[in-house]
Chains A and B, each alone.
Chain A
Amino acid sequence: MSAHDTAEPTRRDFLYIATGMAGAVGAASLAWPFIDQMRPDASTLAAASVEVDISSVTEGMSLTVKWRGKPIFIRNRTPKEVDDAKNTALSALKDPIARNANLASDAPATDIDRSAGAGKEKWLIMVGICTHLGCIPLGESGEYGGWFCPCHGSTYDTAGRIRSGPAPENMAIPPYQFVSDTHIKIG
């Protein structure tokens, strides 16, 4: 495009390229805030942790609390439920990983690693969201006596592990800790 037909880039070529580059970078950086505003905002992120009194949850009872807009199932399991889960071989599981945010990411999905740990095995605390497409499973139902998701028929056992249906993973265990024997802090 130079006035003289030389192979050498001219000043004008340089200006074209420089202007084009500035335009592209400018457009991209201007686009960013338009995308960025879609992400969860500060108030959503701020609702980080909740404390729950579980003293009223007696054996065989469940409590559902909300954390980050999601339901958290807190279940005081019966000895039978614990035993059923313990007696299930890992090889029978669709997802052999604990999915427990309080443990290493490759911890196996044994009952102890799904529960609140040694001494507190009766407690199962998990995000009550089906890992398929996000419905809330119904408790104490389904083939394995755990949870049944009405949306597309996934069943979970008494440790919240996926046993059949389209869901790929065990229900997630959120980060939590016992602040006392009767209080837990989620998040």
Chain B
Amino acid sequence: MSGGHSTYTPSTGLGKWIDARLPLPRLVYDSFIAYPVPRNLNYAYTFGGILAIMLVSQILTGVVLAMHYAAATGLAFDSVEKIMRDVNSGWLLRYMHANGASMFFMAVYAHIFRGLYYGSYKAPRELLWILGVIIYLLMMATAFMGYVLPWGQMSFWGATVITGFFTAFPIIGDPIQQLLLGGFSVDNPTLNRFFSLHYLLPFMIAGVVVLHVWALHVTGQTNPTGIEVKSKTDTLPFTPYATVKDAFGMILFFILFAYFVFYMPNYLGHPDNYIPANSLKTPAHIVPEWYFLPFYAMLRAITFNIGPIDSKLGGVLVMFGSIAVLFLVPWLDTSKVRSAVYRPWYKLFFWLFVVNAIFLGWLGSRPAEGSYVHMAQFATLYYYAFFLVIMPVLGLIETPKRLPNSITEAVLAKSKNGGLMAGVTAAPETKG
């Protein structure tokens, strides 16, 4: 789509006939075969393809689960148990769906961290980044509502706590919560609408993915050097180079996925969700799914009032703000250099951010008492400082390393030093 003009030439009569009427094969050819990709992409760049395939996997397994699932409070838990015990291969499909959600989030976190490391959000890719954040938000909403469907204790209480966030807002809070729940507490109307939306949202995600890929193909991919493509020798055709690399990454990812599904299918879940929902008994320790834990930790870190904002509203604002700040990242980073490879200080702070995010996740799984609260407060501070202080200030004061003149130069320099990539030539596609 971007790389200038289309090089597609239909060879058969039928091909020509279709091309003149609906040039879909041309679109596919230009986007996934001839499409030029930077020649130095590493495995951090394979998560986009992995995410696409995980979305397909969730939709396929979800649609078949829906054939056996009953969205009513009296039936839901038993229908899921029936899927596990009676439906042919039902256990496999459900474990694929439940663990698939976790794998989906692992991939999206890798994908987002890749973006933060290589500066993928910087001009001209701001909209591409923002569309990504929107996909991430939709994924969170989908996964949250999906987790309510089996109607176990964690489903019920997770839904209660998360819809309770809205009651933090003065005046409009309670009406909004009632609108979400369809009542005064989580009940049958809630389960029904969550099922409807859980079915709908993945297709909306698919729609935003189309926009995301469209925007990608307008600007082209970034690459580990952060230098834009300048000449033809900087790129390779998508097929076979990127296709094969992506496929290999996917296979490794699927091995991990299969390991979870077959050997530890409940490891990432919570045992309390195998207890039917009971609206009169809160489990001793409510925790969300692992992929929400860092945000949960930030929610609970705010135990003090901030001026007129009470601790409850403060926690909710800090939690929502931690995602909202992602939208601003393209404008918060003031550095002229895109990639962390050439930014020694940014690299350090970036890895601290990763460690901090994992630490927050761990804190989210701990009870909110004693020193855990103080640690969470400290980690929340770093989370925000990374975006609001380090990103803008570091870009102005850091001295970056010398940048190579082009991707080709960087690749050739590397092969000279390492010897590993010997045989890399200026035109690898003719290497034979």
CB distance B311 to A151 under 8 Å? Answer: no
The reply on A117 being an interface residue by CB < 8 A is no
Q: How far is the CA of A66 from the CA of B282 in the complex (A)?
A: 15
CB distance A136 to B182 under 8 Å? Answer: no
CB distance A166 to B285 under 8 Å? Answer: no
CB distance A135 to B286 under 8 Å? Answer: yes
Would you give the 0/1 interface string for A141-175, flagging 1 where the beta carbon is closer than 8 Å to chain B?
A: 00000000111110000000000011110000000
With contacts A134-B167, A150-B285, A168-B311 known, is A40 near B183, CB below 8 A?
yes
CB distance B157 to A135 under 8 Å? Answer: yes
Chain B residues, Cβ within 8 Å of A150:
282-286
- A39-64 interface (Cβ within 8 A of B): 39-41, 44, 64
The reply on B160 being an interface residue by CB < 8 A is yes
Q: How far is the CA of A161 from the CA of B302 in the complex (A)?
A: 20
**Which listed segment binds B: A21-29, A68-76, A81-89, A103-111?**
A68-76
CB distance B167 to A152 under 8 Å? Answer: no
A153–chain B nearest beta-carbon distance, Å: 5
Chain B residues, Cβ within 8 Å of A7:
none
CB distance A133 to B185 under 8 Å? Answer: no
CB distance A152 to B368 under 8 Å? Answer: yes
- Return the contact of B182 from the options A40, A68, A153 (Cβ within 8 A): A40
Residue among A68, A70, A136, A138 with the highest chain B CB neighbour number at 10 A = A136
Residue among A35, A39, A131, A166 with the highest chain B CB neighbour number at 10 A = A166
Residue among A40, A71, A133 with the highest chain B CB neighbour number at 10 A = A133
The reply on B5 being an interface residue by CB < 8 A is no
A9–chain B nearest beta-carbon distance, Å: 38
Chain A residues, Cβ within 8 Å of B178:
39-40
With contacts A69-B185, A166-B302, A167-B312 known, is A136 near B179, CB below 8 A?
no
The reply on B300 being an interface residue by CB < 8 A is yes
Closest residue on chain A to residue B301 by CB atoms:
A166
CB distance B161 to A39 under 8 Å? Answer: no
Residue among B165, B187, B282 with the highest chain A CB neighbour number at 10 A = B282
With contacts A39-B178, A71-B279 known, is A151 near B369, CB below 8 A?
no
Chain B residues, Cβ within 8 Å of A138:
282
B130–chain A nearest beta-carbon distance, Å: 25
CB distance A134 to B164 under 8 Å? Answer: yes
Chain A residues, Cβ within 8 Å of B402:
none
The reply on B280 being an interface residue by CB < 8 A is yes
B299–chain A nearest beta-carbon distance, Å: 8
CB distance B311 to A166 under 8 Å? Answer: yes
Chain B residues, Cβ within 8 Å of A70:
184-185
Q: How far is the CA of A165 from the CA of B312 in the complex (A)?
A: 10
Closest residue on chain A to residue B283 by CB atoms:
A150
B77–chain A nearest beta-carbon distance, Å: 18
A81–chain B nearest beta-carbon distance, Å: 22
A39–chain B nearest beta-carbon distance, Å: 6
B34–chain A nearest beta-carbon distance, Å: 43
- Return the contact of A69 from the options B157, B184, B282 (Cβ within 8 A): B184
The reply on A3 being an interface residue by CB < 8 A is no
The reply on B303 being an interface residue by CB < 8 A is yes
CB distance B284 to A39 under 8 Å? Answer: no
The reply on B245 being an interface residue by CB < 8 A is no
Would you give the 0/1 interface string for B269-302, flagging 1 where the beta carbon is closer than 8 Å to chain A?
A: 0000000000111111110000000000000101
Chain A residues, Cβ within 8 Å of B302:
166
Closest residue on chain A to residue B181 by CB atoms:
A40
A140–chain B nearest beta-carbon distance, Å: 15
The reply on A38 being an interface residue by CB < 8 A is yes
Chain B residues, Cβ within 8 Å of A44:
182-184, 187, 189
Q: How far is the CA of A68 from the CA of B180 in the complex (A)?
A: 16
CB distance A69 to B183 under 8 Å? Answer: yes
CB distance A68 to B279 under 8 Å? Answer: no
Identify 16 residue pairs between A and B in the complex whose beta-carbon atoms are under 8 Å apart, listed by A's number: A38-B179, A40-B189, A41-B182, A44-B184, A69-B185, A69-B279, A70-B185, A134-B163, A135-B161, A135-B286, A136-B280, A150-B284, A153-B367, A167-B312, A168-B312, A168-B313
Seen from chain A, the residues whose Cβ lies within 8 Å of a Cβ on chain B are 35, 38-41, 44, 64, 66, 68-71, 131-138, 149-153, 165-168
Interface pairs A-B: 3 shortest CB-CB: A133-B164, A69-B185, A134-B164
Known contacts A38-B180, A40-B181; can you find 14 more A-B pairs with CB under 8 A? A38-B179, A40-B183, A40-B189, A41-B189, A69-B183, A69-B184, A70-B184, A70-B185, A150-B285, A153-B367, A153-B368, A166-B300, A166-B303, A168-B311
